[in-house]
């Protein structure tokens, strides 16, 4: 993998030698604009998804058409487990991996393990706040990556394509330890979901008592 990125850097250096200074500025502006668009779209999708209490909108319960009470409850449990035990870890892995790559590109002087730690802590905090105050989770999910991006643009390495390629070469280092952090984030999600269900159950019971 490192050999591939070293080859890309070499080809890039050969390519830019063909351009004049003015032409090279135009190329850099175009390249930086594309990078900003991709990262900004990712941040927007990231905050829209992870800041919601219910990340999954599939609503598999709609496929539960059983009329028998016991069978209905059993299938409801199966569908719920399918959503939050199988689909949820995949979504968390997707967003965690994407955020880690984005932070790797825009964070200065941070190693791969530090990037993973920051990304895991950020997603964990967002998921906890999503159950407490949705507005706060939205602000953190949106503002933290945008502020990091703004700081990156003010750094000298923002216009260094060689540096971007070298950072991309570190992606395999991220993948080595991703599973451990995803497990931690998923454990946080399960704990928050259980507490939320207990709270909802308690609220519904109080509501019934008040009506009676």
Tokens 């591939």 identify what position?
4
Asked whether the beta carbons of 65 and 89 are under 8 A apart, the reply is no
pTM of the model: 0.75
Three-state secondary structure call for residue 19:
coil
**Averaged pLDDT, 82-92:** 75
Each residue of 138-156: pLDDT tens digit?
Answer: 888 888 888 888 887 787 6
**Rounded Cα distance, 134 and 17, in Å:** 50
**Rounded Cα distance, 184 and 180, in Å:** 7
Confidence bin at 66 (pLDDT 50/70/90): very low
Quote the mean pLDDT of the chain.
75
**Rounded Cα distance, 87 and 95, in Å:** 13
What per-residue string of b and e applies to 56-80 under the rule 16 or more CB within 10 Å gives b? eeeeeeeeeeeeeeeeeeebeeebe
């Amino acid at each position: 993998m490192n050999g591939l990125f070293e080859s890309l850097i070499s080809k890039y250096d050969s390519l830019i030698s063909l351009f004049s200074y003015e032409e090279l500025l135009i190329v850099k502006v175009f390249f930086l604009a594309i990078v900003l668009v991709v990262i900004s779209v990712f941040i927007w999708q990231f905050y829209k998804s992870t800041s919601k209490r219910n990340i999954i909108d599939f609503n598999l319960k709609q496929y539960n058409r059983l009329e028998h009470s016991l069978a209905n409850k059993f299938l409801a449990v199966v569908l719920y487990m399918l959503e939050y035990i199988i689909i949820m870890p995949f979504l968390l892995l997707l967003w965690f991996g994407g955020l880690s790559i984005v932070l790797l590109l825009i964070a200065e002087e941070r190693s791969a393990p530090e990037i993973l730690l920051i990304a895991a802590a950020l997603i964990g905090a967002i998921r906890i706040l999503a159950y407490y105050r949705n507005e706060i989770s939205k602000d953190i999910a949106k503002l933290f990556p945008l502020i990091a991006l703004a700081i990156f643009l003010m750094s000298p390495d923002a216009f260094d394509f060689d540096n971007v390629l070298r950072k991309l070469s570190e992606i395999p280092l991220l993948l080595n330890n991703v599973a451990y952090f995803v497990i931690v984030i998923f454990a946080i999600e399960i704990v928050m979901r259980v507490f939320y269900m207990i709270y909802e159950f308690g609220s519904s019971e109080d509501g019934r008592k008040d009506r009676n």
